[in-house]
Structure 1
């Protein structure tokens, strides 16, 4: 059972990935960035 929040997060994730691709970043780089920024 998926919640509204899950769908919202998925949308944001897809948006992030597409932006990252335009910038030439890999998924790993995006994950690392998100991990680092969530620590702050």
Structure 2
């Protein structure tokens, strides 16, 4: 159980880094949400 919780925290950290990088590149929050809802529309 502890390993699973640690894995989840690491994934969340990676997601946060990806989102911050996207924002630094000028991608809007709405564009990120749209991509996550429909990744095939890129």
Normalised to the residue count of structure 1, the TM-score between the two structures is 0.57
Structure with more contact order per residue of length (Cα contacts < 8 Å, sep ≥ 6): 1
In our comparison, the structure showing a higher alpha carbon Rg is 2
* Structure 2 gaps, min length 5: 37-42
What stretches of structure 1 move > 6 A for 4+ residues in a row? 31-34
* Alignment length (residue pairs): 37
Q: Can you give the 5+ residue segments of structure 1 that lack an aligned partner in the other structure? A: 35-40
